[in-house]
Each structure stands twice: as C-alpha cells, then as structure tokens.
Amino acid sequence: MDGRIRRDVRVEGVVQGVGFRPFVHSLATRLGLTGRVGNDVNGVFVEIEGPAASVTSFLTALERDAPPLASISQVTVTAGEPRGADEFAIVASSGGGPRRTLVSADTATCADCLREMGTPTDRRFMYPFINCTNCGPRFTIVRDVPYDRPFTTMSGFEMCSLCSAEYHDPTDRRFHAQPTCCPTCGPQLRLLSAAGSPLAGDPIGETAALLHAGRIVAIKGLGGYHLASIPSEASVLRQRKHREDKPFALMVSDVDVADRLCVVDSTGRELLTSRVRPIVLLPSRGVVAPGVAPGNRQLGLMLPYTPLHHLLLDAVGGPIVLTSGNVSDEPIAFVDTEAFTRLHGIADAFLTHDRAIHMRTDDSVVRPGTVLRRSRGYVPEPIALSWNIPRPVLACGAELKNTFCLARDRHAFVSHHIGDLENYETLRSFVDGIEHFSRLFDITPEVVAHDLHPEYLSTKHAIELSDVDIVGVQHHHAHIASCLADNNDPGPVIGVAFDGTGYGTDGTIWGGEFLLADLTGFTRVAHLAPVPMPGGTAAIRQPWRMAAAYLDAAGEPRPEWATIVALAHSGLNSPKTSSAGRLFDAVAALLGIRDTVNYEGQAAIELEQRADPGERGSYPASIEDGVVYGVDLIRGVTSDLRKGLSPATIAGRFHNGVADMIVRTCLRLSEEHGLTKVALSGGVFQNLLLLNRTTDQLTAHGLEVLTHHRVPTNDGGISLGQAVIAAAQR
Amino acid sequence: LAHGSGGKATQTLIEAVFLDAFSNPMLDRLEDAAELSVNETRLALTTDSFVVSPLFFPGGNIGDLAVNGTVNDLAVSGAKPLYLTAGFILEEGFPVADLIRIVASMKAAADAAGVSIVTGDTKVVQRGKADGCYINTAGVGVVRCPGRLGAATVQPGDAVLVSGSIGDHGVTVMLARGELDIEADLVSDTAPVHDLVATLLAATPGVRAMRDATRGGVATILNEVAKAADVAVVVDEDKVPVGTEVRGASELLGIDPLYVACEGRIVVFVAGAEAETALDALRSHPLGREAALIGRVKADPPGLVLLNTTFGGTRICDLLVGDPLPRIC
Ligand SMILES: [Fe+3]
Ligand SMILES: [Mg+2]
Ligand SMILES: [Zn+2]
Ligand SMILES: [Zn+2]
C-alpha cells in the first residue's frame, strides 16, 4: 500500500455527547480514509489511515470544522504503521481508568430542532422536549460520567424503536444524543393546580391563558423552577415572593421584540442568540411595566432556550417575567415535591414535567463584555488557564454569590452560581455541588482554599476538612488573582479591589484596596481611610448610617443622626471599614436616593443610574502615605448640596472623583514600584460609569488595564482567585 | 486572647486548653454543673466568674448577678441550690460604699434563692489591674432527678421552649454604659430560676435538658445542644419572644437578640408530647409568664440550628466565632 500513512489521534476537551464521533465518521468517509473512532475516559480516540494528503486534510478539518458544542482543549497525534483497514467504523465506548473528559453545558434548542418542532408532519411536532447532539440539556441532567444515557435523569425513559434507530445511526443528528426522545417515549408536560391536581386542556395553552388572566405560574425549566407572570402583574409577583425592588428578567420571543424593549447592538444580539442564552442586561427603552425593574435604566432580557419556552412564548404572544422559583433569597427550587411546598402560596399553578433536574442551575446574567452571574449554559465548562495547577485544588469561594472551584492541570472548573450561603438549602447545594464536581471531573483536592472571614460558612466548611492542606486567602487578593486568571496573566500587577465587604488581615473589614499582587502574595500599598460602620451589618442594610459616619468624619455631623454617631464613637458593634461600597452607600443616602436597601448593592446601583454621564466635574480626594481620604469626596458632595446642585450632577461628580482617586493612586504606585499593569476587580466595578471612566483614564496614561470577562468581577469570581493563589503556594 | 463573648472562640479555647488538661467524665459532658456522688447523695457543683461592666445597671448589679448566675446553673442542672461561695477581686481604690451595695444585693439574692453564702475570699489588686470589682461564685446543690437531664438526651420530636422574653439583660447592660444616650424603659432580667425549674420539673417528667441562656444568648445554647445531641434545632423566628424595647434597641445597635445574654431565662428541651404541659407549667410561674414554644428538634441536619424566617426562608443560626463582623456586601 504505497503512500498510505497512519495516525493515532487523541482529542481532549468537551468532545462527548456533542456529535463528535459522527462528525469524525463523515469527515473520514468523505476523505476516503479508513480506521475507527471511539469515546474513552479521556475523550475521543481516532485511528486513520490513507493517502498522506488526505490525512493532512483530515487533521486540519478536525479542529476547524468541529461540531458547534465541541470545545477541544488538546489534540495529540502520533504516527503508526498502516494496518490496511478497509472501512471507517465507530466503535463502542470503553470505560475505566481516570476520567479526563469534560461534560458539556446545557445548550439552547438548535435551529434544526426548532424547524422540526414547527413542522406539523414531524413526529416531534410541538414536542417540548425535542433535542439532538447539537442542543438540549446536559449538565443539569448528568448524574455521573461517562456521559451516557444511564447516567442521566433520562435513564428512566426507554427509547422507542424510532428514537433508538436515530440514536444508533452514525449519520443521524441524534446519534448518541443521550437525552433524545419523542412524544411516544419521552417526558410529558403536566399542568397542575396550586393544590396539585391536574388541570384539563393543553398544558401550554392553559398556562398562557392563566398568565393572561394575571396568574402566577411556576414553570419547571432546565435548571430549576421559574415563576412566571405577564409584565403588568410583576408587582403581584414581587409581593408574593417578598422581593421588593430587585429587577426581574423578561423572556422575549426574539431579537425584534428585544429591540422594542431595549437598545440592542450587535454584541447584545450575539449574546441574546448565543447557545448559552443568558439574561443580557441592556439599556431599557422605558416601555416595559415599571414593576419589572424599578429604578433601573437597564433591563435583563433572554430568549427562549428550551423547546418548552419557545412553545410557551408563542402561546403567550408577548414577553413574560421569568424569575427564579424561590422565596426571598432562598435558592431556586428544582425538585418537584420541594417546589410544591416552597412555592405554595406564590404560584397559582405549576407547569411541570417528569424529566428530573439533577443539578440546580440558575440563569446566567451577562452584560456585553462581561459576565455577572456565570451559571446555566456556561457551567461546567472550565476556565482554561495558561499555566499549570500542579496539585488538585478546591477553592470554597465567598459567602454571597458563592461559587466554588475545582482546579487541576490547566483547567479551573468554576461552579455554577450557588447563592448566598446563609441558607441551609444553599449550604446543602454547596456541599453536594462540590461532591458532584469532584466526581464528574475526577478531582480529589489536595489543597483547599478558603476566605479569611471566620464566619463565612464556606470558611467553616473548609477548615473542617481533613487530609488536605488548608490555605486561607485574603478576600481582595482573591479578587485580583481572579482577574489575573481571567486574563491568563500571572502578574505582578497593581490590583484595585473595590467592593462592599471583605475580611482584612488586620481583622477589620476591607473594600477599598490597592494591592501589589501576583499569585503568590500581595502587599496592601494603599486603601481608603477606615470609617466606622455603626451597627455593623445594619450599616450595610441602612446606608444612611454610613452617611452619618462619613458626615461625622467630615466634621459636619447632622443632629438628627447623633445617636448613630454616638454608637460609632462607642465602638459598640461598629467595626472599622475601608470599603468603597460603603462610600457609595453614604453618597446615595446623602443625595436622598436610598436610606435602606432591599438587595445587595442597591444604593450604589441606583446612585450610578442617577448620575449624569455627561458631567465632567469631579471632587478631589487627598492621598497621604497610602491612605485615600474618601471623606474629601463627601465634603464635595455636601458643599454642592448646599449650593443646590442636582443629585444627577453631584452623583456624576462623585463617580468622576472616585475614578480620579483610583487613577492618581495607581499612577503614584506605578511610579514607585515600576509596574505598568493595573487589574480592576470587586463588585464595585460592576458600576459601568466608574469602570469606563477609570479604564479610559488609566489607558490614556499609558497603563495596561485588566478587567473581568470570563468570571464575574463580584464575589462569584472569588473561588477562581482562591484556586490559583492556593495552587501557587509552595 | 480574644475569647470573651461566649461563642465559638470560647468553646474552642475550652476544648483546646481545659478539656485537654482536665479531661474526666464529669467535665467532658460540658453541662452547666457537674453531677457527683458523695456518700450516696448526688450533688451538683458549679462555678462562675462575673466581670460585668458597668457594675450597676437597671434591675440589678454584679452582686445579684453573681448569686443568680450560680443558682441558675445549679437549677438548670436539675439540682436544688444549697450553698454558695463568694470570691472578690477588687481594684485598689474601689469605693467601699459600692462594695457595700453589691454585698447587700448578694445577700438579698441569696435569701430569695434560699441559699447561704458559706465561705469567701477577697483579694485587692493594683489600680489598673482590674475593672473595679470581679466576683467568682461557686455553688453546690442536691440533684433532684439523678442522671436524667442532659443535652445529649435531646432527640428528634422534642419541643424547644424559652421561659420569657430574651435579650433584656444584655441590652440593658449595653445601654447602661451611657455612651449612647438612649432612653429605654429596660431592666435586666436577672433572677433566680430555681423555683421556676422546680415548678416545671414537678409538672413535666419529659424535660430532657435545660440551660440558662447567659453569654452568647439563646442561639449559643441551641447550638451547644444541637451539637451535643447531634440533632437539628429548628426555630421559628417570629415565635421567639422579644420585648418591644429590646427589639428597638437591638435594631439600632445592629445586633440579633438571639445572641444577647439573659440572666434569668431558661431554654427548655422537652418531649414533644409534653410541650403544652411544660408551657403551662412555666406560664403558671411569675418568671415564666411570657414563656413560648419557639421550635422543634429534628434529626436533620445534625448539629445545626436553623431559623425559619418571617419570609419563609431558612437561615442558618450558627455559633459565632468571635464578635460578629459583617458578612454581607
Ligand atoms: Fe468581594
Ligand atoms: Mg454560667
Ligand atoms: Zn437540536
Ligand atoms: Zn421516541
């Protein structure tokens, strides 16, 4: 066999359950190559032989034309002796050995499936569970690896002969599509009353009718139950959910509708229609009912991502509010029985089905350029690192917006959004989630990282573990390291970590920090001047207390706040903080924007929304010996208030003042320490006005700026930072 | 050392240093008092030191606190308090008039509790080496129901009761420091509970354990019991009795009344079937008029205290490691 060569190819990454073997099969067949392809614990193995030129074409196309859901992390090619195979075959999966293969994220219904669902003659016409190798549920239904039907929550549905034929046909789009099913053999929808009794009629049509009648319906989605209403009933939903002001997201049928509600540019369009289908925060045109996102210039929109959502949106004929099915700050309900108890009294009816959800997963939230909540559609695909994690690491994350992270080799598996760990339900999903990820990715941590805050439940979880090395990581160091890992840059950098609350190495609360940092350590080179938080946590819930503390520090105390100032002076439950979040809170309260918050960061968010983006004035802050005096900004605010300037102008000047203060401090540090790179991290940088002002000025001064793109700048990114720091410890 | 507030840090200190050194079956149970046998008689023995500031506060002073505290530790161990000792550490220059007031209160408290102070000791230390006056008391009593009560006997299905509104003592003392200039109609709840306990035990054979909710408040007690019995304690937030003044002052101070010290309140764990009987017994006594059923014991999740909040959420009510520092952003 002259001129024939043979190559053994190993493909690693997200390559199982995504149609990779049929793709390889058709590629090889088209090129006239022989050999075989199969799945194993490491991913996909291919053996090909044929003319050298064809083999080369094969290898080029292998990565270039891979199926949409595949994500190749590594391809290894070794040469071998041709064996003279006369056909190309797909061989059975082989099990055993360590698992290195990756599980894919849940993926929005593909165009092919949508077409079939809309074709009256198709056997899956209007079937709300249609899917194929290019789309459908993955992470949320996987119980174990290898990713095979028996290890998913589809295991109880035996395929009918038609589905089975498709499943076993290498040329079919549903070849080895693990969740594949049809109306004959697959899950079924049911509409139940609040009392749990079945309601007559077509479940989707009846749900639409209920929504139009102003009812609240709990809908079982991909990662959990949502609560749905039409936009005009948003305030009813708020009341029942005990969610006072926090914005709701809307699901809209397509980009055209999105464009009627919000300004949708090309990036926005791309995000809305991506296979992740996150909630995208977009500038609102102000035409939606005010109860949906009170006091917010932005609106969260998402497009349907399951066949059920497509059918529902068609039936309703307009946008619906779709919010996580929970009470207050509890995690989203995802088990049927639990949903019925927990959503009792909120939902008037339940649109549910019999495909179980194995992993609770919330909708992801993004803004063009960055991700604010990384969950459904992203997870469990790893954050690829450009350096190696030598020993397997578990990072336990922060308390609020918790995620954990398991990292090994060049992969950091940042978990889905777990939530606020003060609830038992959330703590349980944290513990179970860690267990599940360890099993899925075969990572047994040798190093465990945690925050320094002694009261974080994530900290308490970490320090109770045995037979591992425990590493405490300072909160703001973790923020900066997270930004470094996000950008695949090991540092060192000037790190600006601005957030609400993080435990400092001196036992006080930090949050306005300038660090010289790399992955191995940090020095706190500058920070906001500490002020007392009168009443501790109460000062976070009630921003006016911070206004009182700052006015006192400015030497301009208000008589009506004397008691709170006395509390601050007494030191009784009044910890000191250098938090930038609290400075924003104080200004929001001084401007009369918000005295009490109903959700995290609300005062600062509303302050940003009120600021005049065209304002160029600024308040100067003095910087002495690494201490930045936020109180100077407060003096600027009160002076302009006395002059009768508008809150919009003052808020604008305050934002500019904070940006100036960051820039001047960075320039000084850059000069002193010879660093020209700045990393911005922490929840405060969710503030676009501040982020853009700061980044623009730093760049104009010739500094390179790193910000977040792959993981959130808020505490959802902390676990990644902890992981890379713990991995860098010797 | 930063181990003052009675939470997890104190517990860690106790476990790391004292239990390690002194370990024996009586101590290791970590009850409020030790049960011991002397010539067939079951005795309870306890000791406590008092370092309150200010020394005088509405409703009491360090003197009656020192007597009631030890009387109560004996009482909740199921013993009838009999004899007390008193040790004083006084700072040089401490006003004699104040000492006389303190001692008079101790005498009155001892009479009210039916105990005698039978031996004592006094040391004077240099100025600045103590904060005016510290008192240690120890007490012995006779056990009424030997070996029956104890946190470890608590089991799923049991009911959790408190004998009255919580947090009064701690908030009163905080305000009495005079730094806040808050007018509040508040007095400490300091009181001897031996009679209340006797009434309860006489009416309710199913009492499993009692604790007086001193340092670290009710939340700390619940956590201790949840861990000792390896059970879950589930409390309904809105069933916990908190006085209007205490609620208001706690909100201002930003503290949770569940973690605030009481000096005359007991937490009772009783077999579920006897919850109402126990409640009636407590309410029949002047010190227990505001008694309330605040929660239940469950099997899961072992070792944790959960709080059903007014909104229908479930918050973990954990043992605090030290002084509470904000965790939210
Ligand atoms: Fe943070
Ligand atoms: Mg005691
Ligand atoms: Zn599809
Ligand atoms: Zn079928």
A342 is catalytic: no
CA–CA distance, B72 with B191 (Å, rounded to integer): 8
CA–CA distance, A174 with A177 (Å, rounded to integer): 5
Closest by CA to B200, choosing from B171, B226, B165, B164, is B164
Q: What is the pLDDT of residues A366-381, one digit of tens each?
A: 999 899 999 999 999 9
CA–CA distance, A206 with A316 (Å, rounded to integer): 10
Among the residue ranges A37-41, A310-314, B306-310, the one predicted with the least confidence is: A37-41
How far lies A403's CA from each of A211, A390, A497, in Å?
A: 34, 22, 19
Domain, as residue range, for A558: 503-518+523-706
- Classify burial at A77, counting beta carbons within 10 Å of its beta carbon; exposed 0-12, middle 13-18, buried 19 or more: middle
Residue B3: pLDDT band (50, 70, 90) is: very low
ipTM of the complex: 0.90
Are residues A168 and A248 both part of a single domain?
yes
Is A492 domain-assigned?
no
Q: Between A659 and A90, where is the model more confident? A: A659
- In one-letter notation, the amino acid at residue A383 is I
Residue A616 Cα to chain centre, angstroms:
34
Residue B33: pLDDT band (50, 70, 90) is: confident
Q: What is the pLDDT of residues A609-658, one digit of tens each?
A: 999 999 999 999 999 999 999 999 999 999 999 999 999 999 999 999 99
Dihedral sign, Cα of residue A284, residue A285, residue A290, residue A296:
positive
CA–CA distance, A240 with A416 (Å, rounded to integer): 26
> How many structural domains is chain A composed of?
4
Q: What is the pLDDT of residues A270-303, one digit of tens each?
A: 999 999 999 999 999 999 998 999 878 899 999 9
Could A328 and B328 be called an inter-chain contact, meaning their C-beta atoms sit closer than 8 Å?
Answer: no
Q: Which candidate in A6, A7, A21, A524 is catalytic?
A: A21
- Upper half-sphere CA count for residue A224 (Cβ side, 13 Å): 28
A contact residues 445-504, partner B, Cβ 8 Å cutoff: 453-457, 460, 499-501, 503
Is A40 domain-assigned?
yes
Residue A97: pLDDT band (50, 70, 90) is: low
CA–CA distance, A33 with A86 (Å, rounded to integer): 9
Closest by CA to A581, choosing from A553, A610, A565, A605, is A605
Are residues A70 and A137 both part of a single domain?
no
Is A97 domain-assigned?
no
Q: Which candidate in A6, A7, A36, A39 is catalytic?
A: A39
Distance between the two ends of chain A, CA-based, in angstroms?
55
Could B327 and A453 be called an inter-chain contact, meaning their C-beta atoms sit closer than 8 Å?
Answer: yes
Percent over 70 (pLDDT), chain B: 96
Q: Where are the alpha helices (DSSP H) in chain B?
A: 8-13, 20-22, 25-28, 62-76, 96-113, 168-176, 194-203, 217-229, 244-253, 275-283
Among the residue ranges A385-394, A452-461, B11-20, B82-91, the one predicted with the least confidence is: B11-20
* Average pLDDT in chain A: 94
Which pLDDT score, from 0 to 100, does residue A95 have? 57
Residue A42: pLDDT band (50, 70, 90) is: confident
How far lies A320's CA from each of A88, A330, A333, A442, A669, in Å?
A: 49, 22, 19, 40, 50
The neighbour count for residue B290, using CB atoms within 10 Å, is 15
User: How many Å lie between the alpha carbon of B157 and the closest alpha carbon of chain A?
Assistant: 20
Structure tokens at B80: 């009838």
Which pLDDT score, from 0 to 100, does residue A108 have? 97
- In one-letter notation, the amino acid at residue A324 is S
Q: What is the pLDDT of residues B85-137, one digit of tens each?
A: 999 999 999 999 999 999 999 999 999 999 999 999 999 999 999 899 999 99
User: How many Å lie between the alpha carbon of B59 and the closest alpha carbon of chain A?
Assistant: 22
Is A420 domain-assigned?
yes
* Average pLDDT in chain B: 91
Average pLDDT over residues A389-398: 97
Structure tokens at A303: 């497009």
Tell me if B209 sits within 8 A of B153, measured CB to CB: yes
Which pLDDT score, from 0 to 100, does residue B184 have? 81
- Which of A424, A431, A479, A714 would best serve as a mutation to test chain B binding (most B beta carbons within 10 A)? A424
Are residues A356 and A238 both part of a single domain?
yes
Are residues A368 and A386 both part of a single domain?
no
Contacts of A451 in chain B (CB under 8 A): none
Q: What is the pLDDT of residues B230-254, one digit of tens each?
A: 999 999 999 999 999 999 999 999 9
Are residues A121 and A246 both part of a single domain?
yes
Our CA angle for B172, B175, B178, nearest 5°, is: 140
Dihedral sign, Cα of residue A308, residue A311, residue A312, residue A313:
positive
Q: Phi first, then psi: what are they for A374, rounded to 5°? A: -100, 105
CA–CA distance, B72 with B80 (Å, rounded to integer): 10
CB nearest B180 (choices: A537, A539, A566): A566
Average pLDDT over residues A42-68: 92
Residues of B at the A interface, defined by Cβ within 8 angstroms: 174, 177, 179-182, 251-255, 301, 304, 306, 309, 311-316, 318, 320-329
CATH number of A563's domain:
3.30.420.40
| R_g of chain B computed on alpha carbons | 19
Is A135 domain-assigned?
yes
Could you please report the per-residue DSSP string of A149-211? Answer: GGGBTTTTSPPPHHHHHHHH-TTSTTTT-TT---TTTS--EEEEETTSPBPPS-HHHHHHHHH
The neighbour count for residue A463, using CB atoms within 10 Å, is 13
Are residues A631 and A666 both part of a single domain?
yes
Are residues A149 and A50 both part of a single domain?
no
Q: Between B142 and B178, where is the model more confident? A: B142
| Residue-wise burial string across A161-200, b where 16 or more C-beta atoms lie within 10 A, e elsewhere | eebeebbeebebbbbbbbbbbbbeebbebebbebeeeeee
Is A491 domain-assigned?
no
Tell me if A569 sits within 8 A of A556, measured CB to CB: no
- Classify burial at A506, counting beta carbons within 10 Å of its beta carbon; exposed 0-12, middle 13-18, buried 19 or more: exposed
CB nearest B325 (choices: A330, A422, A575): A575
Contacts of B182 in chain A (CB under 8 A): 563
Average pLDDT over residues B53-67: 95
**Alpha-carbon torsion, ordered A584, A586, A589, A593, to 10 deg:** -10
Chain B residue with Cα closest to A400: B328
Q: Between B69 and B25, where is the model more confident? A: B69
CA–CA distance, A392 with B74 (Å, rounded to integer): 52
Are residues A661 and A687 both part of a single domain?
yes
CA–CA distance, A628 with A632 (Å, rounded to integer): 9
Q: Between A400 and A730, where is the model more confident? A: A400
Which pLDDT score, from 0 to 100, does residue B9 have? 67
Average pLDDT over residues A169-180: 89
For the ranges A265-279, A317-331, B17-31, the maximum mean pLDDT occurs at A265-279
CATH number of A280's domain:
3.90.870.30
How far lies B162's CA from each of A437, A500, B169, B265, in Å?
A: 43, 37, 15, 7
A21 is catalytic: yes
Closest by CA to A376, choosing from A411, A337, A417, is A417
User: How many Å lie between the alpha carbon of B237 and the closest alpha carbon of chain A?
Assistant: 14
Q: What is the pLDDT of residues A439-496, one digit of tens each?
A: 999 999 999 999 999 999 999 999 999 999 999 999 999 999 999 999 999 999 999 9
Percent over 70 (pLDDT), chain A: 98
CATH number of A73's domain:
3.30.70.100
| R_g of chain A computed on alpha carbons | 27
Percent over 90 (pLDDT), chain B: 75
Could B180 and A499 be called an inter-chain contact, meaning their C-beta atoms sit closer than 8 Å?
Answer: no
CATH number of A411's domain:
3.30.420.360
How far lies A677's CA from each of A499, A540, A701, in Å?
A: 20, 32, 11
Distance between the two ends of chain B, CA-based, in angstroms?
28
- In one-letter notation, the amino acid at residue A307 is P
Q: What is the pLDDT of residues A123-171, one digit of tens each?
A: 999 999 999 999 999 999 999 877 889 999 999 999 999 999 999 988 8
Average pLDDT over residues A11-34: 89
Residue A101: pLDDT band (50, 70, 90) is: low
- The secondary element (H helix, E strand) that includes residue A352 is strand A349-353
Are residues A181 and A291 both part of a single domain?
yes
What domains lie within chain B, and their CATH numbers?
31-143 (3.30.1330.10), 151-316 (3.90.650.10)
- Under 8 Å CB-to-CB from A40, ≥6 apart: which residues? A93, A94, A95, A97, A101
Percent over 90 (pLDDT), chain A: 85
Dihedral sign, Cα of residue A169, residue A173, residue A178, residue A183:
negative
Is A98 domain-assigned?
no
Is A627 domain-assigned?
yes
Structure tokens at A730: 């010797």
- Upper half-sphere CA count for residue A493 (Cβ side, 13 Å): 27
- Upper half-sphere CA count for residue B162 (Cβ side, 13 Å): 27
DSSP state for residue A682 in the 8-state scheme: S
Are residues A547 and A648 both part of a single domain?
yes
A509 interface with B at CB cutoff 8 Å: yes
pLDDT for residue A250 is more than 90: yes
The neighbouring-strand residues paired with A13 are A72
DSSP state for residue A530 in the 8-state scheme: P
In the sheet that holds B116-125, the strands lie side by side as B34-38, B41-50, B133-143, B79-91, B116-125
How far lies A400's CA from each of A136, A695, B288, in Å?
A: 30, 26, 40
Are residues A479 and A546 both part of a single domain?
no
Residue B32: pLDDT band (50, 70, 90) is: confident
3-state secondary structure of A645: coil
pLDDT for residue A176 is more than 90: no
Are residues A371 and A387 both part of a single domain?
no
CA–CA distance, A418 with A428 (Å, rounded to integer): 10
Q: Are strands B266-270 and B159-162 parallel, antiparallel or unpaired?
A: antiparallel
Could you please report the per-residue DSSP string of A253-280? Answer: SSHHHHHHHB---HHHHHHHHSTT--EE
pLDDT for residue A194 is more than 90: yes
pLDDT for residue B5 is more than 80: no
